Amino acid sequence: MVLLDIKGISKSFKELKAVDDLSFTIDEGEIFGLLGPNGAGKSTTISMIASLLPPDDGDIIYKNESIMTKPNKLQKELGLVPQDIALYPTLSGYDNLKFWGHVYGIRGKELKNRIEEITELIGLSDRIKDRVDKYSGGMKRRLNIGAALIHKPRLLIMDEPTVGIDPQSRNHILNTVKMLNKEGMTIIYTSHYMEEVEELCDRICILDKGKVLASGTKLELIKLINGRERIDVQFELLNSKFMEEIKKLFYIGEITVLDNRVSIISENAENLLGDLIQIIKNSNTRILSIDVQKPSLETVFLHLTGRALRD
Amino acid sequence: MSSILMLRLMQYKRDISIVLLMTALTIGFIFIFAGPNNGVYKYKILVATDEKTPSYVRFMNELYKNKSYEFIEADYDTVKAEVEEGKIIAGIYFKNDEISILKTKEDINIFILENLASNTLFSIQSMSDMAETIVNYIDNIKDVDNNAVETIAYNEILESVTEKKHMTVSKEYLNSVNTLEYDGTKHLTIGIILFMSMFTIVFGIGSILEDKEYHTWDKMLISPLSRKQILGGNLISTFIVGAGQILLLIVLTKQLMGMDWGDGEDIKLVVLIGLLFVMTTTSLGLMLSGAVKTQRQLSTITPIILTSTSMLGGAMWPLDIVQSKLLLFLANFTPQKWAIEGMEKIIIYGGELNDIISSIIVLMIMTVVFFTIGIVTLKHAD
Ligand SMILES: Nc1ncnc2c1ncn2[C@@H]1O[C@H](COP(=O)(O)OP(=O)(O)O)[C@@H](O)[C@H]1O
Ligand SMILES: [Mg+2]
């Protein structure tokens, strides 16, 4: 069942078109990934879904009704994990959860139980009575998620929930997301980390400069690169002789250079590897590493834009 | 709305040390600035006489000891002119062992001055009379230099009066001095309490800016909370904390320093004005919050605005010593002036509800005006 239908929404900030005629649908019970580099328009899209920002154009339909006329219907069932941590730093984690629970009308024993459940879910049981400004970045991120879950939302929107945290907290968050989804929660997951989106999401929409580049399941997206593989070579110092030689190979797809790293996409990876080593020898340059990449969303993005997802 | 109330009170609970520190600081300031013998202001009083008789000299010597007024000798015309021009609050004319007070209005400080002058005159006359009796007695025994003996006798009596304090005359005299200094204390105590509590209140309502900085504002907007509830919760929690602080300070100054807030009826009226003042200041804080974008900006402008309006409104010194017509006119636009005036009318002048109606009305009008401007500018900033 389609829960949310985004119909051609656009949003401009003065001259800048932050979101440009964007459309996608979200089914009940799925994890939907919104993938794109910084500035792609992900947060702006989320603000429009949450009715915090009116679109210039287009419509957003939640359960067959436009949220333009009835924002409350979605807002009641929405849990928002904002990109910027939204917590009261001088209060304890417990009091933060208590406040948001209270806001959603949860009281007394029910609130207490709910806070305990959430605290356990986000793995903060031993620190929940401490002030938030004493927390590490990862703990704040986890509490930020907990605060959005207190009222058991039907739709959870997470805007880059893992930015700038330690791997342990990150794994905890990814597992939490999977668990919530298993219990039936629909989730929109926004990130510029393609590994996370690959791991979590049923369907993915790749955004760039406010536009949809591609969308579909992970498999559908990888088909876009048609079985082509990618080899990344890290040079100590990249020289022009190498670049001249490599471009002569007839079976080469895109070549992307970032500092001293060269990414080469090719349909014929086996031949490429042999030829590559030969050229490196001839061009008198030292390499630090050669990676043969599995087909991934990173490669898809590179293929579609000629730019790396993270820069 | 109860959620916001709960949130703010939880935050205050966490910051209880700051609230307590502010209260302790206020008490400290009252001790330093309004404590006994620390009047920070002195009224200038000119005294004129046609003939510097011995009793005049004694009278002046006594007056010079007073700490609340600065007595300066001048000729009659100067005294009269300065009083009429309003350069000094009053003058004293000493003639034939009697005094008259030159004044153009009635106020508490002039009243106290009159008391002080007549008590002083009375006590030196009593002492002179005693000295004269002794002289007459000695005179009957032996022929001596009358004038010299009288002076010595006077001085000795004076010494015994001030040091041993066992004469009724001296008691009355000392009491009147105490009353005088106590009024400076009352004025400054009220002024400092109001001034300091304004900070708590303005920063309290300023926490509405905090939610934008903490990014919790957006989450509130998509929650079942309405803007009205958010605002209402903030206003009420600020009012509770502000009112609590003023009440606490009234109790503390009474208990710790013996500040006389009057009887039960008086205290009720003082509290009424205090609560109105909290409302006015809350609205003022709302208006200031609407004028800035961040809490940091608010904490930059707040001390400037609160200090300048408190000086203007007479929280630091009595408005009676202010000469400038413009400043006195501007004082009318500060809530401090009306709150101080109202409280003083009750605990110094012994006034009743009728006497403070003007203060009540002005504070209510200011509340409405500040509140309206605050709401409009806040909406604009959204
Ligand atoms: N309030 C705003 N005013 C002006 N420009 C904005 C505003 N919000 C976002 N933008 C711009 O819109 C573009 C998309 O931003 P955003 O939606 O935050 O991207 P993402 O979340 O994908 O990083 C960026 O170029 C950003 O600078
Ligand atoms: Mg973003």
Confidence of residue A77 (pLDDT cuts 50, 70, 90): very high
The reply to whether A120 and A247 lie within a common domain is: no
SS3 content of chain A, % helix, strand, coil (to 5): 35, 30, 35
Tokens of residue A162, six digits:
């893992």
Supply the mean pLDDT for chain B.
Answer: 84
The reply to whether A53 and A85 lie within a common domain is: yes
Decide whether any atom of ligand 1 lies within 6 Å of the A239 Cβ: no
Top-ranked range on mean pLDDT: pick from A105-119, B62-76, B88-102, B117-131: A105-119
Structural domains counted in chain A: 2
The reply to whether A283 and A232 lie within a common domain is: yes
The reply to whether A192 and A262 lie within a common domain is: no
Decide whether any atom of ligand 1 lies within 6 Å of the A296 Cβ: no
Confidence of residue A311 (pLDDT cuts 50, 70, 90): low
CATH assignment at residue A20: 3.40.50.300
CB–CB of A131 and B14 under 8 A? yes
SS3 content of chain B, % helix, strand, coil (to 5): 75, 5, 20
Which tens digits make up the pLDDT trace of B124-146?
Answer: 888 777 777 777 777 676 666 77
**Chain A residue at shortest CA distance from B213:** A86
The reply to whether A8 and A132 lie within a common domain is: yes
Note the pLDDT of residue B39.
47
The reply to whether A233 and A218 lie within a common domain is: no
Cα gap B331→B375, rounded to integer Å: 25
- Among residues A88, A102, A85, which one has the least CA distance to residue B13? A88
The ligand placed nearest to the CA atom of residue A83 is 2
Q: Helix, strand or coil for residue A225? A: coil
The reply to whether A62 and A83 lie within a common domain is: yes
The mean per-residue pLDDT over the stretch B337-349 comes to 92
CB–CB of B224 and A103 under 8 A? yes
The reply to whether A234 and A259 lie within a common domain is: yes
B15 to chain A, closest Cα gap in Å: 8
- Measured between beta carbons, which residues in chain A are less than 8 angstroms from residue B209? none
**Chain B residue at shortest CA distance from A133:** B214
Tokens of residue A122, six digits:
């986000």
Which tens digits make up the pLDDT trace of A168-188?
Answer: 899 999 999 999 999 999 999
In the reported structure, the alpha carbon of residue A44 is separated from the centroid of ligand 1 by a whole-number distance in angstroms of 6
Which tens digits make up the pLDDT trace of A245-277?
Answer: 888 887 777 888 888 888 888 877 677 888 888
Instruction: Answer yes or no: is A218 within a domain.
Output: yes
Note the pLDDT of residue B166.
37
CATH 3.40.190 holds for B44-163: yes
- The residue out of A188, A206, A222 marking a domain boundary is A222
- Comparing B212 with A157, the larger pLDDT belongs to A157
Which among A90, A104, A131 has CB closest to B223?
A104
- Kindly tell me if the per-residue pLDDT of B66 is higher than 80: no
Which tens digits make up the pLDDT trace of B221-235?
Answer: 999 999 999 999 999
- Measured between beta carbons, which residues in chain A are less than 8 angstroms from residue B10? 91, 95, 98-99
Decide whether any atom of ligand 1 lies within 6 Å of the A43 Cβ: yes
Tokens of residue A101, six digits:
């629970």
- Comparing B305 with B318, the larger pLDDT belongs to B305
Tokens of residue A202, six digits:
């049923």
Instruction: Answer yes or no: is A48 within a domain.
Output: yes
Instruction: Answer yes or no: is A263 within a domain.
Output: yes
In the reported structure, the alpha carbon of residue A69 is separated from the centroid of ligand 2 by a whole-number distance in angstroms of 26
The reply to whether A123 and A212 lie within a common domain is: yes
Confidence of residue B286 (pLDDT cuts 50, 70, 90): very high
Domain interval for residue A242: 228-294
Note the pLDDT of residue A65.
92
Determine contact, residues B366/B278, Cβ cutoff 8 Å: no
Supply the mean pLDDT for chain A.
Answer: 91
- Kindly tell me if the per-residue pLDDT of B179 is higher than 50: no
- Kindly tell me if the per-residue pLDDT of B68 is higher than 60: yes
- Domains in chain B: boundaries: 2-37+184-381, 44-163
- Measured between beta carbons, which residues in chain A are less than 8 angstroms from residue B214? 86-89
Cα gap B309→B320, rounded to integer Å: 16
**The CA-based dihedral angle spanning residues B49, B52, B54, B58, taken in that order and rounded to the nearest 10 degrees:** 50
The mean per-residue pLDDT over the stretch B342-352 comes to 88
Which among B11, B218, B223 has CB closest to A91?
B11
- Please report which helix (H) or strand (E) contains residue B309, including its range: helix B295-312
The reply to whether A143 and A288 lie within a common domain is: no
Note the pLDDT of residue A10.
96
Cα–Cα–Cα angle for B119, B121, B127, rounded to 5 degrees = 100
Decide whether any atom of ligand 1 lies within 6 Å of the A71 Cβ: no
- Kindly tell me if the per-residue pLDDT of B214 is higher than 90: yes
The reply to whether A152 and A14 lie within a common domain is: yes
Tokens of residue A90, six digits:
């001088």
- Measured between beta carbons, which residues in chain B are less than 8 angstroms from residue A80? 218-219, 222
Instruction: Answer yes or no: is A304 within a domain.
Output: no
Note the pLDDT of residue B167.
33
The reply to whether A207 and A162 lie within a common domain is: yes
Cα gap B364→A83, rounded to integer Å: 43
- Comparing A226 with B262, the larger pLDDT belongs to B262
The mean per-residue pLDDT over the stretch A4-20 comes to 95
Which among A87, A91, A104 has CB closest to B10?
A91
- Kindly tell me if the per-residue pLDDT of B368 is higher than 70: yes
Which among A75, A76, A88 has CB closest to B216?
A88
